[in-house]
Structure 1
């Protein structure tokens, strides 16, 4: 493919991504994968170049662009060499006409950028949210040790004691160490959030929003495969991914539990007042993960954030009911908005006098309210807020 043809292909994929963002359709990675698969004439270099153009354009736009062409014209403002490819060459984009306007730049739609700024995420701090995420892995201590593990590519040691950072795009899932469960892909910030719970061998621990189980597996390793670890979620499809991952990791102390939304305690009744620790990795807007999913900032609405904050509070209430006296919980969101982080936690601790916030002593992050915050700019991790509390 010619460079101009690659640009046109990227424009067509961007059209689909923009439509999906407005209508709640498929995520960008799926649209790109399906679109490149359909273009059988595109070689590996073409596919890589098209993907780079697509995600470059997404990162270059703040609000949702009018269409893929406007998004690519915005990228051409950032990368001037692209502008000359709007020449009308065969299979390439048509020439730019006088009345055409490029999409608007920025970190996010204006209303969302204001919300971030109100949470002290602005300037370089905000711009870092749209950088490229590294590839972090966690060495599974049920099977290996970080210092004694030999991998095809040397990794940089993270502050998380079992974490390593590899170059982006490293094919770790093709490695024998991955197939044998010696390593798992997990962001360094996510690893630190798990450490905050301080799960111990022999305890009863609940991962209340386990999803596909990334944090669950980290907790199982911290517990040395001893005790009871209950992995819960309301999404059957996500939870179903945990079992093969646990088998590969050698994690045998996990009990999977599918919950019914709004009726969670019916399934959790046998653990009421018995849990030593509960991890509440709550659903959120995901503003801290834009490096991985940059188009997700086009999908967020103010109404959704309000609904999420209500759900986050309710999940903390459920966690309180599960804890024994003296038990502890950690609240985690991969959002940098205070209205999903410190403000939710403050309302929760104010409403439940039996819950007392406890300090966190980790090797990264900065204080935010009664918890801590990690950001790509300061910590090189995904963005997280997390806080810990104990039940009196």
Structure 2
């Protein structure tokens, strides 16, 4: 592909990304993979270059642009080399019209920027949400220890006890250490959030929103494969991915439990007031993960944000029924909005006067109301809110 043809390919993919954001369709990375699966002639350099252009344009635009071309024109206004490729030659984009409108630069839609600012995220902290995410791994202590493990490539030792940072793009899935379950890919912030939960050997622990089990595996390692670890979710597809991951990791105490939406307690009735720890890694807007999915900023609406808050309240109430007297809830969201963090904890404590919030014991984090916040700017992690709630 010529450089101009790469720009045109990026424009087409941006059009697809914008439409997908409007209708809650596939994420950008999946659209890019599908696009090139249908265009086998494109080489690896072409794929990397087009992918880079797509994500650069997404990060450059605050409001959702009307078209992929408008998004790319907005990027070209700050890159003269890119602008020179709008000639219409070599399968490239047609020349720029005199009255064409380019997308304005920005970080996120204005309403969302206001919500972030009210939550204490603005300026450089807001811009950092759209940086480039690193590649972090967790050494699985069921099979290895960070101090004694020699990896094919050296990495940076991080604050979490078993965390290592590697160069972005490292193909760890090809390593024997990954295939044998000695390491797992997990963001440093996610590892710290699991550390805050402080799961212990012999406890009864419920991962209420386990998904594909990334945090479940971390809990199993902390428990040293001793106790009961229930991995529950309402998504059969995501939960089905846990079993092979658990087998590879040697996590033998995990018990998958599929729940029906709206009837979660029916599946978990045997654990009523019986759990030492309930991890609520609640569905949320994902504002803390924009470094990995920058187009997510275009998918969120005020109404959706309100629905996430209602869902988080419901999950916390379920968790409180499952927690034994003196037990605890670890409430986690990968969001930097108070509406999905500090506000939810405050509302829970108001509904449950016998409960209290405790300080999370982790080496990084900034206090935020009754919890801790991790963010890309201050801690170079994905964004998280973490709160530890203790039953009377």
In structure 2, C-alpha distance between the alignment counterparts of 1:372 and 1:80, rounded to whole Å: 43
Q: 1:360-375 alignment to 2 at 5 Å? A: 360-375=360-375
- In structure 2, the partner of 1:346 is 346
Three-state SS of the structure 2 residue aligned to 1:78 is: coil
Three-state SS of the structure 2 residue aligned to 1:252 is: coil
- 1:287·1:336 contact (CA, 8 Å) conserved in 2? yes
TM-score of the superposed pair, with normalisation by structure 2: 0.99
- Alpha-carbon offset, residue 87 of structure 1: 1.3
Aligned: 1:221 with 2:213: no
Q: Deviations over 1:233-261 (max 9, x none)?
A: 00000000000000000000000000111
Aligned: 1:262 with 2:268: no
- Alpha-carbon offset, residue 90 of structure 1: 2.4
- In structure 2, the partner of 1:145 is 145
- In structure 2, the partner of 1:50 is 50
- Alpha-carbon offset, residue 199 of structure 1: 0.5
Question: Any gaps of 5 or more consecutive residues in structure 1?
Answer: none
Three-state SS of the structure 1 residue aligned to 2:14 is: helix
Q: Deviations over 1:293-339 (max 9, x none)?
A: 00011100110110110110111111110111110111000000001
- Alpha-carbon offset, residue 92 of structure 1: 0.4
Three-state SS of the structure 1 residue aligned to 2:340 is: coil
Q: 1:30-179 alignment to 2 at 5 Å? A: 30-179=30-179
TM-score of the superposed pair, with normalisation by structure 1: 0.99
In structure 2, C-alpha distance between the alignment counterparts of 1:243 and 1:33, rounded to whole Å: 26
- Alpha-carbon offset, residue 80 of structure 1: 2.4
Question: Any gaps of 5 or more consecutive residues in structure 2?
Answer: none
Three-state SS of the structure 1 residue aligned to 2:229 is: strand
In structure 2, C-alpha distance between the alignment counterparts of 1:52 and 1:79, rounded to whole Å: 14
Q: Cα RMSD between the aligned structures?
A: 0.7
- In structure 2, the partner of 1:292 is 292
- Alpha-carbon offset, residue 37 of structure 1: 1.5
Three-state SS of the structure 1 residue aligned to 2:350 is: helix
- In structure 2, the partner of 1:306 is 306
Three-state SS of the structure 2 residue aligned to 1:385 is: strand
In structure 2, C-alpha distance between the alignment counterparts of 1:171 and 1:229, rounded to whole Å: 30
- Alpha-carbon offset, residue 73 of structure 1: 0.7
In structure 1, C-alpha distance between the alignment counterparts of 2:125 and 2:29, rounded to whole Å: 25
Q: Deviations over 1:32-55 (max 9, x none)?
A: 001012122211111111111111
Three-state SS of the structure 1 residue aligned to 2:362 is: coil
- Alpha-carbon offset, residue 125 of structure 1: 0.2
- In structure 2, the partner of 1:337 is 337
Q: Deviations over 1:55-114 (max 9, x none)?
A: 111111111111111111111123221010011212000000111011121111111111
- 1:60·1:78 contact (CA, 8 Å) conserved in 2? no
- 2:2·2:90 contact (CA, 8 Å) conserved in 1? no
Q: Deviations over 1:115-160 (max 9, x none)?
A: 1111111100000000000000000000000011111111101111
In structure 1, C-alpha distance between the alignment counterparts of 2:62 and 2:54, rounded to whole Å: 14
- 2:74·2:104 contact (CA, 8 Å) conserved in 1? yes
In structure 2, C-alpha distance between the alignment counterparts of 1:60 and 1:77, rounded to whole Å: 11
Q: Deviations over 1:146-196 (max 9, x none)?
A: 011111111101111000000110000011100000000000000010011
- In structure 1, the partner of 2:21 is 21
Three-state SS of the structure 1 residue aligned to 2:231 is: strand
- Alpha-carbon offset, residue 361 of structure 1: 2.6
- 2:21·2:298 contact (CA, 8 Å) conserved in 1? yes
Three-state SS of the structure 2 residue aligned to 1:45 is: helix
Aligned length: 392
Three-state SS of the structure 2 residue aligned to 1:216 is: helix
In structure 2, C-alpha distance between the alignment counterparts of 1:44 and 1:267, rounded to whole Å: 47
